[in-house]
Every structure is written in structure tokens, then in C-alpha cells.
């Protein structure tokens, strides 16, 4: 990994938000590709944070400050990930399901989809099934994207699909799912239209579903 990316990687792990912001800017100015800053430095560091949490070297507060530092870096990268002026490829309502506060992966998927020309309506985190249903009625998207990071909350993806059925809007949208514990098999089991393991494949999937 390039030295500048390694610095950002370490600063995310240490939760040093100002240093991450400065480091991302320095890496961009030095001509490091935006994709490498994102995948090697920012996403790579969050992976390490998760591993440390599993080993109990890190606890929730460390995980939280690291996430905030990463988000600050993402905010700087966003305009470069999202190319302006691309005609809307379709409309997507996206959110993290009920009970789940994990934000970063879902936001990244939203950003990449914006970059690919989708109009993205981000409902945020802890989004209940009914709220997804209402958003489909209000915004009339072609796609709904559900994100879950916890094995406990991924069950709420099924509840969301059921709510869309109950509200009579399920056949108006394609539903795609993703997040660390989610698999292709699970997506099929709950009757989703597709699963993507990461943000760039989420864009490919979204295009293929339309």
C-alpha cells in the first residue's frame, strides 16, 4: 500500500478525524486514485477495525470514532465518486433496515449509485418496513435497496418485503439487498430480486434489474 494510503488507514483505525481529512486530501493531491483511497485506505481500515472488535482489542467507542473518521474521509471523496451531469438511470430508495444503525456501507452504495446516474433517496438507518412502503408510494422508485449489518436485523429485510406485499407495492419495484451478513442464498430465500456483496457490484446489479 502507498505510504499516503497507509497513513489514512492508520488514522481511521485511530479514529483521528482531522488527520483522515488531511490525509485523504494529501493522497488526492499526490494523484492517488480515488478508488484506491476508498478501498485500500478507508474500507481496508474498517475491516481491520471489525477484526479488532472480534478479538476484543477494540470496543464500541473505538469502533464508533473510527467510523466517524472514515465517514469524514468519505465526505471528501464523494464529489469525486459522484460524477455530475449524468442523466438519471433510475430512481432508488435505499436504507438500513429496522433496528440497525450501521450507516457507512449503505451510504457508500448510495454514493456509487449516484455516481452511476441514479437518483438516490436515502431514508437513513433503522428504517421500519412501513417507512419503506410509504417511500415507495411517495417517490415511485424502480428500485428499493435494503442494507443490514447484523445477523439479527437481516430478518427485518424479510419483514420489509412482506410490508411491501401488504401495501400492494411489491410488484412496482425490484428489491436488492446487501450488507456483511447477507448472502445470495438468503436473498433468494426471502424473495428479494438480487444481492450484491459490495458497492460497485450493487451498481451493476441495479442496472441489470432495470
Would you tell me which residues interact with ligand B1M (CB under 6 A)? 43, 46-47, 49-50, 53-54, 60, 63-64, 67, 94, 99-106, 108-109, 145-147, 149-151, 176-181, 196, 198-199, 202
- By 3-state DSSP, what share of the chain in percent is helix, strand and coil, each rounded to 5? 60, 10, 30
Nearer to ligand B1M, 29 or 60 (CB): 60
Nearer to ligand B1M, 31 or 61 (CB): 61
Long-range contacts of 134-137 (CB under 8 A, 24+ apart): 135/93, 135/95, 136/93, 136/164, 136/167, 136/169, 136/172, 136/173, 137/167, 137/169
Instruction: State phi, psi for 175 to the nearest 5 degrees.
Output: -115, 125
Nearer to ligand B1M, 1 or 30 (CB): 1
> Shortest approach of ligand B1M to residue 21 CB, angstroms?
17
Vertex 172, ends 171 and 175: CA angle to 5°? 80
Nearer to ligand B1M, 8 or 94 (CB): 94
How far, CA to CA in Å, does 122 sit from each of 1, 94, 139, 205?
Answer: 33, 5, 11, 18
Strands (E), 29-160: 90-96, 118-122, 143-147
Nearer to ligand B1M, 19 or 70 (CB): 70
Cα–Cα distance measured from residue 190 to residue 26, given in angstroms and rounded to the nearest whole number: 44
> Shortest approach of ligand B1M to residue 52 CB, angstroms?
8
> Shortest approach of ligand B1M to residue 152 CB, angstroms?
6
Nearer to ligand B1M, 17 or 85 (CB): 17
The sign of the dihedral angle between the CA atoms of 200, 159, 51, 58 is: positive
> Shortest approach of ligand B1M to residue 126 CB, angstroms?
7
> Shortest approach of ligand B1M to residue 7 CB, angstroms?
19
Spell out the residues 6+ positions from residue 185 whose beta carbon is closer than 8 angstroms to its own.
none
> Shortest approach of ligand B1M to residue 163 CB, angstroms?
16
Amino acid at each position: 500500500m502507498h505510504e499516503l494510503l497507509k497513513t489514512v488507514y492508520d488514522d481511521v483505525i485511530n479514529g483521528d478525524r482531522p488527520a483522515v481529512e488531511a490525509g485523504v486530501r494529501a493522497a488526492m493531491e499526490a494523484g492517488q486514485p480515488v478508488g484506491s483511497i476508498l478501498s485500500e485506505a478507508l474500507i481496508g481500515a474498517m475491516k481491520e477495525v471489525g477484526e479488532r472488535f472480534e478479538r476484543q482489542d477494540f470496543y464500541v467507542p473505538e469502533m464508533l470514532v473510527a467510523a466517524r473518521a472514515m465517514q469524514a474521509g468519505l465526505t471528501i471523496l464523494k464529489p469525486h465518486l459522484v460524477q455530475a451531469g449524468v442523466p438519471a438511470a433510475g430512481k432508488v430508495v435505499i436504507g438500513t433496515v429496522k433496528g440497525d444503525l450501521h450507516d457507512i456501507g449503505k451510504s457508500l452504495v448510495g454514493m456509487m449509485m449516484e455516481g452511476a446516474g441514479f437518483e438516490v433517496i436515502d431514508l437513513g438507518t433503522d428504517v421500519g418496513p412501513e417507512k419503506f412502503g410509504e417511500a415507495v408510494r411517495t417517490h415511485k422508485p424502480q428500485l428499493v435497496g435494503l442494507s443490514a449489518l447484523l445477523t439479527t436485523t437481516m430478518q427485518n429485510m424479510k419483514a420489509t418485503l412482506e410490508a411491501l406485499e401488504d401495501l400492494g407495492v411489491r410488484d412496482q419495484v425490484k428489491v436488492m439487498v446487501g450488507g456483511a451478513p447477507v448472502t445470495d442464498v438468503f436473498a433468494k430465500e426471502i424473495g428479494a430480486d438480487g444481492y450484491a456483496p459490495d458497492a460497485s457490484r450493487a451498481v451493476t446489479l441495479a442496472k441489470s434489474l432495470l
